[in-house]
Amino acid sequence: MNEELDPNKKTILVVDDEQPIIDVLVFNLKKEGYNTIEATDGEAGLNLALEKRPNLVLLDIMLPKMDGLTVCKRIKQAYNVPVLILSAKGEEVDKIVGLELGADDYITKPFSVRELIARVKANLRKMDDDKEEKIKENEANANKIIVGDLELDLEKVEVKVKGQVKNLTPKEFELVKFLAMQPGVPVTREVLLEKVWNYEYYGDIRTVDVTVCRIREKLGDSTKNSKIIINKKRIEYYLASK
């Protein structure tokens, strides 16, 4: 019986055609503080997985209506969730097929409930760690601009070319940043003076030329044959997009 789920608890879907096994698993999982939902055939299990999006699936292989390996494959195609295969079939080939279809773990019946709970916790913990790592990675990337071989770290105010840090002054960094935010788009020296130097009037445009020349030298970018900061018609600059 599938009851109302507590949103503060992780939910585990149990799919097995043997009700006594479901009862044992549900009892022990609830004792550990998890929500549980259950199905006794493959089609119902797949539908529940797609509708409820549980945090983990315990899945038997030998199921009526749709076998567990097919269910596993379809769940994994829909979203990323740990799937632990439960099976009385202990042959190596079945284990390999299950893992190739995306299963995260494989437990052969009869199994120790204590071991199964430990595997459940380990897979949930790994999923949480992966999510946390992904969040950190996204946060780090949100503070970076990458254009070709050039990488700007906005938080560290740091520029790298092919992974090597290049020491730029704050003003030089701001100029590269301004161009990097619109790669391939030519910007006049007058606009750069206004946006980077905050000049309310058009100052000496050679300020831009001298700064660009200095930046190119620090980035290892040839002035005569520049590959990073390109000069267009001698009045505009843009950052190469590749």
The CATH number given to 11-140 is 3.40.50.2300
For the chain, the structural domain boundaries read 11-140, 144-239
H or E segment at 11?
A: strand 11-15
**For the sheet containing 83-87, what is the strand order?**
35-39, 11-15, 56-60, 83-87, 105-108
What SS3 class is residue 87? Answer: strand
How long is the chain? 242
Confidence label for 27 from pLDDT (cuts 50, 70 and 90)? very high
Higher pLDDT, 107 or 94: 107
- Output the pTM of the full model: 0.61
What SS3 class is residue 159? Answer: strand
Which pair of structure tokens corresponds to residue 128?
């949480």
Which pLDDT tens digit goes with each residue over 54-104? 999 999 988 999 998 899 999 999 989 999 998 876 666 566 776 777 788
- Residues 12 and 49: their CA atoms lie apart, in Å, by 10
Q: What's phi and psi for 122, nearest 5 deg?
A: -65, -40
Confidence label for 205 from pLDDT (cuts 50, 70 and 90)? confident
Is the pLDDT confidence value at 1 over 60? no
- Residues 113 and 76: their CA atoms lie apart, in Å, by 25
Predicted confidence at residue 96, as pLDDT, reads 72
Which pLDDT tens digit goes with each residue over 124-142? 999 888 888 887 777 777 7
Cis upstream peptide for 110 (omega within 30°): yes
Task: Tell me which residue of 124, 108, 4, 35 sits closest to 14, measured CA to CA.
Answer: 35
H or E segment at 134?
A: helix 113-142
Check: CATH 1.10.10.10 for 144-239? yes
